[in-house]
Chains A and B, each alone.
Chain A
Amino acid sequence: MNEPEKAFVRARGLRKEYGSGEGLVRAVDEVDVEVARGETLSIMGPSGCGKSTLLHLLGGLDRPTAGELWLAGRRIDGLSERALAQLRRHEVGFVFQAYHLMEELTAQENIELPVLLAGRSPGEARRRARQLLDQVGLADRADHLPSALSGGQRQRAAIARALANEPQLVLADEPTGNLDSAATLEVLRLFEALHAAGLTLVIVTHDERIAATANRLISMRDGAFVDETHLVGGTKGNLADLAGLGS
């Protein structure tokens, strides 16, 4: 079957359960999903529907209770912590909802972290970090600690960090949650640029406006997919109607 090769990310029967017996919670319930290389997929759903958990599973941050998971043709659900870590080092970038920056490192050092981890020289790391800081608009805050950054700035630093090692897959959990509309548009433009460069992107969000910019939108409820929409543009003519400019 050539299908697995076509899909960059492939999950079959993915399940994640917590607790046992009466207290059993199915956070992710028999999910099948395929993401093509270079595709942008957005996942929407009410809080507690399991979309963040699914994202964690896709990124190897958590182990599924059952199911199979392939990334770039490689089976990853049974890998050791060590192998998963190396996966995250080079192939997958993760943007957390809570940012999870290291409190004791400056913004620039946080972005340098994955690069140094991958064994590159400090000079390279510094250059890459500076480049990303410019891209996300944090160049003037490079030497600030996270505690001195606003929520939106921290979010942008977290995004930059996820991109540090030029991953092929970026998983983002509510990447624009704390941003105002101007900053949101900035991030969307960034994602658009990455998409144009061939990056595969999975975005979890509860904001329809973000979700709508993807190629494909999946709705989740109670741990399972309930709907899938392929998004292809309508005509601009509709825009004027929407604006109330119709005759």
Chain B
Amino acid sequence: MQQEVVLAMLAKEPSQGSQLRARLDRALGPLGDAMNDGQVYVTLGRLEKAGLVIREGAAGSPARPDRKVYVLTPAGEERVAEWLAEVSWPKPDLAEFHLKLTAAAAAGLADPIGIVDLQRRELLRRLRDVQRAAMAEPDHSDAGLLLEGIALRLQADLRWLESCERVWTDRRNER
């Protein structure tokens, strides 16, 4: 869970941990269920240590962190503003799979095409789940939008896998 996300959610108003959790759930829809409860608090802890967030509220019961209200510090606000203006984008992480294929082919350990097929099937199944989840969402909902994005990414990956299969098949045929 990105620290900046939690920071940004606190920008609206100081909140308790449980309120943050609820807001995340609403924005994420079915994906929200998959989130670990503890993740939010872990992140809040880190933010506190970094000085971007202050815990306020009932003192003297460290065993009950959910009662506390978290507030953004000025540094925290600045960080949020910076973050909103950033244009960094999650990097595609295809190199690992690409190297997996190369290694398998070089060492003769496994058929690269088989690896691709296996991966394809897995991605298709995931895509199916995502699509079905999207179908269950009302139109134009936040969660639906997110699911669309996930589906499109999976689609892009599937297309790349298609290319992998083509290229590796051609290589095999040339030999």
Which residue numbers of A lie inside 8 Å of B, CB to CB?
181-182, 185, 188-189, 192, 207-209, 211-213, 217, 227, 229, 231-234, 236-245, 247
- B124 contacts A by Cβ under 8 Å: yes
Across the A-B interface, the 6 shortest Cβ-Cβ residue pairs: A240-B34, A212-B127, A212-B128, A208-B155, A208-B158, A231-B128
Selected A-B contacts with CB under 8 Å, 18 pairs = A181-B148, A185-B139, A192-B135, A208-B127, A208-B155, A208-B159, A209-B155, A212-B128, A212-B131, A217-B124, A232-B125, A234-B122, A234-B126, A239-B30, A239-B31, A240-B34, A242-B154, A243-B28
With a CB–CB cut-off of 8 A, which chain A residues contact B146? 243
* Contact assessment for B150 and A239 in the assembled complex, using a CB-CB cutoff below 8 Å: yes
A185: chain B residues within 8 A (beta carbon): 134-135, 139, 144
Alpha-carbon gap, A240 to B31, bound state (A)? 5
Q: Determine the distance from Cα of A241 to Cα of B144 in the docked complex, in whole angstroms.
A: 16
Given known A242-B130, A242-B154, A247-B1, contact A188–B135 (CB-CB < 8 A): yes
Chain B: interface residue total (CB-CB under 8 A): 39
Question: Is the CB of B13 closer than 8 A to any CB of chain A?
Answer: no
Which of chain B's residues 98-137 have a Cβ closer than 8 Å to chain A? 117, 120-122, 124-135
Complex Cα spacing A27 to B135, Å: 34
- Whether the Cβ atoms of A233 and B129 lie closer than 8 Å is yes
Please name all residues of chain B whose beta carbon is closer than 8 Å to the beta carbon of A243 when the two chains form the complex: 28, 31, 146, 150
Find out whether the CB atom of B1 lies under 8 angstroms from the CB atom of A245. yes
In the complex, A232→B33 CA distance in Å? 21
**B139 surroundings in chain A (CB, below 8 A):** 182, 185
How many contacts A-B (CB < 8 Å)? 90
Distance, CA A229 to CA B121, complexed state (A)? 7
Q: Is B22 on the interface with A (CB-CB < 8 A)? A: no
Given contacts A182-B139, A185-B134, A188-B135, contact A247 B39 (CB under 8 A): yes
Given contacts A182-B140, A209-B151, contact A238 B126 (CB under 8 A): yes
The interface residues of chain A lying within 8 Å CB-to-CB of B155 are: 207-209
Query: Is there an interface contact between A239 and B130, defined as CB atoms closer than 8 Å?
Result: yes
With a cutoff of 8 Å between Cβ atoms, the chain A residues found around residue B88 in the complex are none
